[in-house]
């Protein structure tokens, strides 16, 4: 009998252009909650996908309970008692809870599907582990928290002894997170071994026994969680002393530059996503919108930028109503936007840096000449300027395709473009998601520079740290409404967390 439930030794895995894991080692004891910590792109998910058989390592070995195993595909992993709760749920939307849970291991009567007994089995399991779900509901009709339970039940149905959780709290409300933490502890008590992939230090401190840290695909170390502070964990993760605070000079806010009044947004099915939302942003201040994912943030961004139709209310930019205007007209009125998903909304990958820099202004002088002819040389010149000014690293200068740039440099192209258009209001969504620490600091500094220039900035982020660090005022959004607006120094993270969960009354008092 080995001391370890899982041992992964010297695992290396490459993808085209990236070494995701470089001789990584992981040892997980039986019946512990073992955290796997690292920044975005550190190789955590890859390592776990190898353990689960979704990927095959280029080299290295895996031992379960001291025995060497070869995990060629998820089937093998399942038969070895390994289950995985994926970050992006692997659930078929128009199948029922039961169908999803038994998929691939369906009970049959003769050769025909026996969904009735499957549903019974699911009900039993959910009772045994206290994971309440309706076995006959369709996935598309249940909440995200319930969908996660379905994922957990999927592993339990397959008799998993080792359960991997990939960033399980990213999509949950604070209450759901609390419940999940209890579920994790309960599973450990039932004898399960748990690997928790995360980059959230607080969760590690709360439930984990030990923690392994990865950085840029390499193994940094394993520690007993009770022996280290959050600060120490953060330094292991990032590789140097981390400044949690950023320098932010005082600045007095000026006039109201963007005013959102009684906004209402409905989705295509008519469900209200934003309800009576009010918020003012002054020039020279950064207002953060804090909230749990799915509480109306993307609808708010869509409504302001014009990407989504507004069903009620007004948006006033520098004294002018813009809610009826097209996206382009809003841009011309001085609305800048740094989108959340930069590859999807921010840049056109097949366009050059020059074309991407001009994509919001190509139809105007100096780029557009007579008869609608474009001056591509002028675009290149302008792009050269921005490349210099914003330190954009590219292989071929202005003609480099944006798609070939690193995430950080793509983000710089977007930031450069938006800032060069001198917007009155800059709407910024998740500006540092998926970037390395250097790029994160650079982007944050640029945002603060814009504030010093007197721009009004609206920052929407799921990272509470980011909001606490950057913003002058913090608006907490819950269920599509702003539940409170607080000055940054007058509120704690804990209070905001409470308000995000919807219990704002106590916190406001």
Partner 1 sequence: MKLSRERLIQSDGAVSVLVVFLGFLVGTILIALVGKNPLNMYKAILQALSGYNIDNGKMNIRYIAETINYSVPFILCGLSMGFANRVGLFNIGGEGQYIMGMTIAQMVALLGPQVQGLHWVLAILCAIIIGSLWGGLVGVLKAKYEVSEVVSTIMLNYIALYLSRIITLQMPGATTYKTANFPETALITNDFFTKITNYSLLNNGIFMMIIAVIVFWFIMEKTSLGFGMRATGFNKEAARASGIPVVKSIALSMAIAGAFAGLAGGIVALGSFKYGRVLSGMDNYGFDGIAVALVGNSTALGTALAGLLFGMLKNAQALMQSKQIPKEITFIIQGMIVIFIALRSALILYQQYLDKKKLQKEVGVK
Partner 2 sequence: MILGMLPSVLMIVAPILITAIGGMICEKSGVVNIALEGLMAIGACTTAAAHVLMEMAGVPHTLSLFLALFMGLVVGGLFSIIHAVAAINFNADQTISGTGINLLSTGVTIFASQILFNADRTKEFMMGMQTDALGIYPTAYIAVAVVILSWFLLYKLPFGMHLRACGEHPGAAESVGINVKKMRYFAVLSSGVLAGLAGGCVVLTQTIQYTSNTINGRGFIALAAVSFGRWNPLGVTGAAFLFGTAQAFAIIANNVPALKVLPSEVFNILPYVVTLVALVLFSGKNYAPSAAGQPYEKGAS
In angstroms, rounded to a whole number, what is the distance separating the alpha carbons of residues 56 and 46?
A: 10
Taking CB under 8 A as the criterion, the residue among 344, 365, 395, 509 binding partner 1 is 344
Token pair belonging to 254? 């000026």
Taking CB under 8 A as the criterion, the residue among 76, 238, 374, 378 binding partner 1 is 374
Which residue in 444, 39, 41 sits closest to 233, CA to CA?
Answer: 39
Per the DSSP assignment, residues forming a β-bridge with 207 are none
Q: With CB under 8 A as the contact rule, which of the stretches 21-29, 86-94, 220-228, 250-258 interacts with partner 2? A: 86-94
Residue 356: CB minimum distance to partner 2, A: 25
Residues 232-271: x/- map of binding to partner 2 (CB under 8 A)? ------------------------------------x---
Assess 132 for contact with partner 2 (CB under 8 A): no
Tally of CB atoms within 10 A around 245: 8
In angstroms, rounded to a whole number, what is the distance separating the alpha carbons of residues 157 and 160?
A: 8
Assess 96 for contact with partner 2 (CB under 8 A): no
Q: With CB under 8 A as the contact rule, which of the stretches 102-110, 147-155, 341-349, 454-462 interacts with partner 1? A: 341-349
Residue 142: CB minimum distance to partner 2, A: 15
Residue 362: CB minimum distance to partner 1, A: 5
Taking CB under 8 A as the criterion, the residue among 90, 328, 381, 445 binding partner 1 is 328
Assess 334 for contact with partner 1 (CB under 8 A): no
Cβ(357)–Cβ(420) below 8 Å: yes
18 binds, among partner 2, partner 1, none (CB under 5 to 8 A by kind): partner 1
Locus of tokens 């907490």 = 476
Mode of pairing for the β-strands spanning 312-317 and 335-338: unpaired
Assess 95 for contact with partner 2 (CB under 8 A): yes
Locus of tokens 């070895």 = 80
Cβ(222)–Cβ(210) below 8 Å: yes
Per the DSSP assignment, residues forming a β-bridge with 211 are 35, 223
Taking CB under 8 A as the criterion, the residue among 89, 95, 129, 345 binding partner 1 is 345
Residue 436: CB minimum distance to partner 2, A: 21
Q: Which residues contact 422 (CB under 8 A, 6 or more apart)?
A: 334
Assess 154 for contact with partner 2 (CB under 8 A): yes
Residues 275-314: x/- map of binding to partner 1 (CB under 8 A)? ------------------------------x-x-------
Assess 88 for contact with partner 2 (CB under 8 A): yes
Nearer CB in complex with partner 2: 140/388: 140
Nearer CB in complex with partner 1: 79/324: 324
Assess 59 for contact with partner 1 (CB under 8 A): yes
Cβ(194)–Cβ(184) below 8 Å: yes
Q: What phi and psi values does residue 258 have, to the nearest 5 degrees?
A: -130, 125
DSSP labels for 220-254? EEEEEGGGS-HHHHHHHHHSS---SS---------
Taking CB under 8 A as the criterion, the residue among 92, 113, 186, 327 binding partner 1 is 327
Cβ(77)–Cβ(104) below 8 Å: no
In angstroms, rounded to a whole number, what is the distance separating the alpha carbons of residues 423 and 406?
A: 26
Q: With CB under 8 A as the contact rule, which of the stretches 187-195, 198-206, 259-267, 342-350 interacts with partner 1? A: 342-350
Assess 100 for contact with partner 2 (CB under 8 A): yes
Assess 344 for contact with partner 2 (CB under 8 A): no
C-alpha of 134 from chain center? 28
- Angle at the Cα of 50 (from 48 to 51), degrees rounded to 5? 65
In angstroms, rounded to a whole number, what is the distance separating the alpha carbons of residues 494 and 507?
A: 9
Please work out the total of residues on this chain that contact partner 2, with binding judged by CB under 8 A.
Answer: 30
Please work out the total of residues on this chain that contact partner 1, with binding judged by CB under 8 A.
Answer: 39
Token pair belonging to 84? 């995985």
Locus of tokens 């295509």 = 268
CA torsion sign, 162 to 166 to 172 to 178? positive
Residues 49-68: x/- map of binding to partner 2 (CB under 8 A)? x--x-xx-------------
Cβ(58)–Cβ(4) below 8 Å: no
Nearer CB in complex with partner 2: 45/212: 45
Q: Where are the beta strands (DSSP E) in 82-172?
A: 82-85, 108-109, 112-113, 162-166
Residue 371: CB minimum distance to partner 1, A: 7
Assess 347 for contact with partner 1 (CB under 8 A): yes
Cβ(321)–Cβ(345) below 8 Å: no
Q: What residue ranges bind partner 2 (CB under 8 A)? A: 49, 52, 54-55, 73-75, 78, 84, 86-88, 90-95, 99-100, 103-106, 108, 111-113, 154, 268
Q: What residue ranges bind partner 1 (CB under 8 A)? A: 12, 14-19, 22, 58-59, 305, 307, 326-328, 330-332, 337, 339, 344-351, 355, 359-360, 362-363, 367-368, 371-374
């Amino acid at each position: 009998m080995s001391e370890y439930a899982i041992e992964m030794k010297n695992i290396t895995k490459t993808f085209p252009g990236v070494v995701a894991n470089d001789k990584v080692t992981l040892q997980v004891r039986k019946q512990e909650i073992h955290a796997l910590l690292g920044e975005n792109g550190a190789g955590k998910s890859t390592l776990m996908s190898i353990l689960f058989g979704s990927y095959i390592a280029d080299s290295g070995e895996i031992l379960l309970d001291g025995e060497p195993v070869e995990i060629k595909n998820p089937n093998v992993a399942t038969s070895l008692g390994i289950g995985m709760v994926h970050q992006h749920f692997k659930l078929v939307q128009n199948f029922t809870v039961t169908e999803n849970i038994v998929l691939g291991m369906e009970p049959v009567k003769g050769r025909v599907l026996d969904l009735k007994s499957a549903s019974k089995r699911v009900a039993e399991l959910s009772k045994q582990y206290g994971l309440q779900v309706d076995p006959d509901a369709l996935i598309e009709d249940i909440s995200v928290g319930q969908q996660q339970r379905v994922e957990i039940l999927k592993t339990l149905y397959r008799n998993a002894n080792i359960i991997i959780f990939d960033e399980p709290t990213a999509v949950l409300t604070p209450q759901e997170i609390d419940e999940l933490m209890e579920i994790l502890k309960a599973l450990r008590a039932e004898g399960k071994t748990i690997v928790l992939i995360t980059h959230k230090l607080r969760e590690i401190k709360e439930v984990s026994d030990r923690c392994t840290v990865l950085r840029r695909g390499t193994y940094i170390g394993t520690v007993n969680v009770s022996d280290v502070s959050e600060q120490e964990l953060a330094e292991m993760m990032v590789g140097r002393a981390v400044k949690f605070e950023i320098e932010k000079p005082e600045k007095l806010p000026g006039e109201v530059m963007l005013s959102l009044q009684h906004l209402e947004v409905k989705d295509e099915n008519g469900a209200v996503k934003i309800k009576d939302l009010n918020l003012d942003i002054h020039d020279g201040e950064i207002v953060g919108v804090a909230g749990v994912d799915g509480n109306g943030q993307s609808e708010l961004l869509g409504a302001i930028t014009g990407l989504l139709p507004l069903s009620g209310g007004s948006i006033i930019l520098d004294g002018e109503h813009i809610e009826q205007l097209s996206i382009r007209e809003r841009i011309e009125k001085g609305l800048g936007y740094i989108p959340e998903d930069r590859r999807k909304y921010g840049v056109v990958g097949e366009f050059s840096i020059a074309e991407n820099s001009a994509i919001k202004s190509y139809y105007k002088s100096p780029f557009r000449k007579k008869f609608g002819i474009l001056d591509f040389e002028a675009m290149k010149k302008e792009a050269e300027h921005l490349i210099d000014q914003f330190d954009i690293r590219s292989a071929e200068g202005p003609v480099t395709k944006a798609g070939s740039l690193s995430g950080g440099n793509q983000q710089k192209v977007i930031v450069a473009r938006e800032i060069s258009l001198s917007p009155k209001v800059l709407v910024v969504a998740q500006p540092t998601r998926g970037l390395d620490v250097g790029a994160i600091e650079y982007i944050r500094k640029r945002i603060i520079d814009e504030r010093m220039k007197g721009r009004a900035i609206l920052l929407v982020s799921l990272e509470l740290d980011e909001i606490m660090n950057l913003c002058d005022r913090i608006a907490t959004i819950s269920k599509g409404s702003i539940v409170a607006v607080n000055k940054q120094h007058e509120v704690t993270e804990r209070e905001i967390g409470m308000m995000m969960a919807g219990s704002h009354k106590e916190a406001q008092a």
